[in-house]
Chain A
């Protein structure tokens, strides 16, 4: 018997392999299977090659959803990252304020995602909502069910309110991990608050901010529950993001083939952008000139 077959380590890997197979590999391969076949019913399936991929890539409604998705994720990152860092910098560093602010800031993260949508529907209702009624009585006709712009504004507010705390908590953890001696050294050098942020706090937070950026990008790019509850993708298609459109294709129209092809492309886009962000953040600030 050779070493390869005799290796007992394979038995130790087996449980993990089974879990990963059922949770990731088999579902993924099922999707791959669907994406290259036309299925009419049990036993009635035809191999169609890349037909569905071609169809999906030429779908103009999907293009619209994709751009919408990029716009949404871009805005989310542009607002939430600086805002989260800002909040983290303002949070108290010691005393009773630490736990108080941590709990307060973490609250939105504890609410189930579909409940968030419901909360904001009621909050922004023009007739009875605290925000909606207030702003309408101030003379601004605000209605997220009627105006695409208002729908976007509501959605962005909801998203920022919901997820900025995550960025803030991660950034705060990064800040708290910086030894006091760094700040002392900066004071002795006579560094300004900006220089301290730029040359000590920001580089020291690189790790947690990379995680925060990746999480926020992936989550926002895959967003489904909140806009589905809040706007249902409307008005019109103005808030139909990729996952909402995907569900429409797969469940609404029962086009499993195109939906599967679309899912794979979706997956690759997320993977590609996560990799790009990761690479960029690993290298930023490293090749700075003298």
Chain B
């Protein structure tokens, strides 16, 4: 199945929820919609499901217009942020509910329910009511309900956001495996860059109802087309340093000069905005090519086994990600090191001019792992739940 959104817009009153979305999804593909809260992710899913009608534009399935078609006639399944199950039905009946309406015989229903319950480890719980389950089990039941019928479109709206960290990790890995076996278009929304990276597949970055960038997830991570995409797709947010390029000389933060090598070579002279993710800022030099930025510590924040050190160089605030739990005194003078070939270059309108050539420039962050470029992205999962793409 091919699901196509053709210049779809959704406005409610005067508010624009979705603006001119053009998207195509293929069977067997895994798609992540990444955006902050209220970016329009849920609206987009509702439009795909047919729960809402687009204000303008068309939705096509295999080239056929289904814009006005009722939801129940489409082969759609959806999992929500809240754990949605029928409260007075047992887990068995809950899972069976989508099948009962399709006039399937009882034996087949039973077989299907048991198969699905098996995958989600729900077999011992089939006689319980949703209220008698833990949050994770309730969400498993909801996921089982969406998997039991052969939906061609499987939509998951931040399904793991209300679960605790441990359960989230478990279920995410299970979901990965389930998606792999599905002959369906899987669309998964999230606010977390780390989750998007772990799911991989294709990504749609959305902000304030507008689609900013689409493409394979690691590719978009490595070349965010605009500063907005880079912000949405970085946690902690990407750091920006204003600077200029003048012939063969580059300057950042007014007075720090950087060599114009690698991807920085040949950029037209002018004012630019340089972006660098906090995992590419270091408090110790990593190589001879590193540029030093003198700064003052403003805040040091511990997240899992990571420490985010907020520093300031003149007018420029920066966040440095340090591994391990380290405390830095507020007001302490530090030197922040960055490899110039790690810098993203954006023009003042926010469009990408140049991005680091490979995930790992020569002499760069060797200790953080060398990754062959064609693998795109290697993930390191951290106890805090954050993932790092190197």
Contact A188 B77 (CB under 8 A): yes
Say yes or no: B101 contacts A190, CB within 8 Å: yes
Residues from chain A with a CB closer than 8 A to the CB of B46 are 184
- Give residues of chain A (186-228) contacting chain B, Cβ–Cβ below 8 Å: 187-191, 199-200, 202-204, 206
- Kindly provide the distance from the CB of A26 to the nearest chain B CB, expressed in whole angstroms: 41
The answer to the question of A41 belonging to the interface, with a C-beta cut-off of 8 Å to chain B, is no
CB proximity to A under 8 Å, residues B239-287: none
Asked if A204 meets B77 with Cβ closer than 8 Å, knowing A181-B82, A190-B101, the reply is: no
Residues of B within 8 A of A199 (CB): 86-89
Given A189-B101, A290-B93, residue A184 in contact with residue B88 (CB < 8 A): no
Residue interface mask A275-290, B partner, CB < 8 A = 1: 0000000000110101
Determine the chain B residues whose CB is within 8 A of the CB of A190 once the complex forms. Answer: 71-72, 101
B211 adjacent to chain A (CB < 8 Å) = no
Q: Kindly provide the distance from the CB of A218 to the nearest chain B CB, expressed in whole angstroms.
A: 26
Tell me the chain A residues, 87-126 only, with Cβ under 8 Å from chain B. Answer: none
* 7 sampled A-B residue pairs with Cβ under 8 A: A179-B84, A184-B80, A185-B145, A188-B71, A188-B78, A199-B86, A206-B87
Point out which of B76, B84, B93, B129 has the most chain A C-beta atoms below 10 A from its C-beta. Answer: B84
Point out the residue from B76, B84, B87 that lies within 8 Å of A203, measured CB to CB. Answer: B87
By a CB distance below 8 angstroms, the chain A residues around B82 are 179, 181
With known contacts A179-B82, A181-B82, A290-B92, A204–B101 Cβ distance under 8 A: no
Interchain nearest-CB distance for A16 vs B (Å): 32
Binary interface encoding of chain B residues 57-80 relative to chain A, with 1 for a CB under 8 A from any of its CBs, else 0: 000000000000001100011101
| Pairwise interchain contact A189-B84, C-beta atoms closer than 8 A | no
Q: Which residues of B contact A290 (CB under 8 A)?
A: 90, 92-93
B74 to chain A: closest residue by CB:
A188
Nearest Cβ on chain B to A93's Cβ, whole angstroms: 15
0/1 per residue, B160-171, Cβ < 8 Å to A?
A: 000000000000
B389 at the interface (CB under 8 A from A): no
Q: Which positions 149-200 of chain A face chain B at CB distance < 8 Å?
A: 179, 181-182, 184-185, 187-191, 199-200
Q: Are A185 and B90 in contact (CB under 8 A)?
A: no
Establish whether residues A185 and B80, one from each chain, have CB atoms under 8 Å apart when the complex forms.
Answer: yes
* Chain A residues within an 8 Å CB radius of B80: 181, 184-185
Q: Separation in Å of the A220 CB from the closest CB of chain B?
A: 27
B219 CB to closest chain A CB (Å) equals 33
- Give CA–CA (A286, B86) in the complex, Å: 12
How many residue pairs between the two chains, A and B, have CB atoms under 8 Å in the bound complex?
56
Chain A nearest Cβ from B204, distance in angstroms: 21
Given contacts A188-B49, A189-B98, are A200 and B76 in contact (CB under 8 A)? no
B97 within 8 A of A: yes
Which residue numbers of A lie inside 8 Å of B, CB to CB?
Answer: 179, 181-182, 184-185, 187-191, 199-200, 202-204, 206, 285-286, 288, 290
B362 CB within 8 Å of chain A: no
B88 and A185 within 8 A (CB):
no
* Cβ contacts under 8 Å, B129 to chain A: 286
Tell me how far the C-beta of A195 lies from the nearest C-beta in chain B, rounded to whole angstroms: 9
Distance in Å: Cβ of A289 to nearest Cβ of chain B: 10
| Interface status of B379 (Cβ within 8 A of chain A) | no
B51 at interface by CB-CB < 8 Å:
yes
User: B49: which A residues are within 8 A, CB to CB?
Assistant: 184, 188
Distance in angstroms from B14 CB to nearest chain A CB is 16
Asked, given contacts A179-B82, A181-B80, whether A285 binds B72 with beta carbons under 8 Å apart, the answer is no
Given contacts A179-B82, A188-B71, A189-B72, contact A203 B88 (CB under 8 A): yes
* Chain A residues in 8 Å Cβ range of B92: 290
CA distance A59 to B210 in the complex (A): 79
Q: In the assembled complex, how far is the CB of residue B236 from the closest CB belonging to chain A, in whole angstroms? A: 31
B98 touches A288 (CB 8 A): no
Given the complex of chains A and B, what is the CA–CA distance between A206 and B145 in angstroms? 24
Q: How far is the CA of A76 from the CA of B325 in the complex (A)?
A: 67
Q: How distant is the Cα of A200 from the Cα of B80 in the complex, in angstroms?
A: 16
Determine the distance from Cα of A200 to Cα of B94 in the docked complex, in whole angstroms.
12
Residues of A within 8 A of B71 (CB): 187-188, 190
Query: Once the chains are docked, how many angstroms separate the CA of A206 from the CA of B86?
Result: 13
Complex interface: chain A residues within 8 A of B81 (CB): 181
